[in-house]
Amino acid sequence: MILASQSPRRRELLGLITEDFEIIPAQGEEILPEGISPREAVILLSQQKAAEVRQRKFPGMEEIPDTIIAADTVVAVDGEILGKPRSRENAGEMLRKLSGRKHSVFTGVTIISGIRTSSFAEETAVEFYPLTDEEITVYVDSGDPMDKAGAYGIQGRGALLVKRIEGDYYNVMGLPAGRLYRELKLIQKD
């Protein structure tokens, strides 16, 4: 298997399914059409990543000998997609938008195995406690939000911001492991 991601969280979660995989991160620019829904966005981005890694690793091959797994995660509130923050200020803005509110975390996954391709998206609802400016500043100063969709990571200090979740916890970390396991069994079945 090939994981088309450099995320340590995705690496850890794929390790729950198999220890036999290699990391080949996608390097292309993420391009989304205007007005796309968060669910459609993560599916499209995961498809772009999987296709890029497939082309780099197996140029011109119709049937590939390995299985490629690519994923992308976004946070959405009021229909607005929040990706990774561009700056400390942007991280603070995102956290203020999420403060005291419920939002959705979407992860899209694309699997390419042999000649088969399968894509899906998982959604988890997350509710934050109301956050003070001081709490936001301390969290942003920790550096934790800078490489995470929505400017928080539930598996780290961001856990202190979360009041409740509805759905798959691992989806919020960036890879819905249980669903991925089942989808892999389906796509690899002869």
Supply 78's token pair.
Answer: 């009021």
Active-site choice (20, 72, 78, 141): 72
Amino acid at position 93, single letter: E
Nearby residues of 25 by Cβ (< 8 Å), 6 or more positions away:
4, 5, 6, 53
d(CA 72, CA 148): 11
Amino acid at position 137, single letter: T
Amino acid at position 135, single letter: E
Strands 162-166 and 116-128: antiparallel
Backbone angles phi, psi at 13, to 5 degrees: -70, -40
Helix (H, G, I), strand (E, B) or coil at 27: coil
d(CA 109, CA 3): 11
- 133 in catalytic set: no
Write out the catalytic residue numbers: 72
